[in-house]
Amino acid sequence: MSTPAKARAARRRHLQQRQTVIFGTLIAAMLVVGLAAGAVWVGILPSPVSIAISEPESTESDDAGPCPPDGATYVPLTEISANVLNGTSRSGLAADTSAELGERGVAVGRQANAESPFAGVVRIVSGPEGLAAAYTAGVLFTDPRIEVDSRTDETIDVILGSSYEALRSADEIDIDPEVEIPIPQGCTPLPTPEPTDESSSAEE
């Protein structure tokens, strides 16, 4: 074999050896990465990266919510105005529930997605003036969570959670406007408004 041919053969062998080493290293690295990923997946190794994931708001709470006003009675469903908000990823939930509430007599206004997800059944939010309506609407759901904010009208927000399935059957509920709303155990009484200067002057 001539010298140039020998040189080409040597270069070819050298190139093949380099390729074998490179491919062998890549395959070994992939096997190591795969084994490590599997170990992390099954919990043998801790994850090297911790990423905060947005989760639905927890329903765990020691607060039983605000107490209904003293002596408050249930409100006829036809006198309740509600906004229905979807706190889940289920498309069309607010629209479907709004239609069902409308069939029960509730006047539904805004339908939209909630600002944050909710993991419970339903949150019903009202101002102090709408607490009786909130408690009445709560009868339509299983395990409602009643909350109060600073709004001054009687409109309520019905925020549907990921545990919500359907309204209670009409046969299961009895809303009597003559019946007082029971006081939940552990609820928080609303603060009594302080008299204004004008009312104090009038009393004097």
- Dihedral of CA atoms 38, 42, 45, 51 in degrees, nearest 10, equals 90
d(CA 13, CA 8): 9
Per-position pLDDT tens, the chain of length 204: 566 666 777 777 777 787 787 888 888 888 877 777 766 565 566 555 444 444 555 445 567 899 999 999 999 999 999 999 999 999 999 999 999 999 999 999 999 999 999 999 999 999 999 999 999 999 999 999 999 999 999 999 999 999 999 999 999 999 999 999 999 999 999 887 666 555 444 544
Parse the chain into domains and list their residue ranges: 1-50, 52-191
Q: How many CB atoms lie within 10 A of CB 39?
A: 12
This prediction's pTM: 0.66
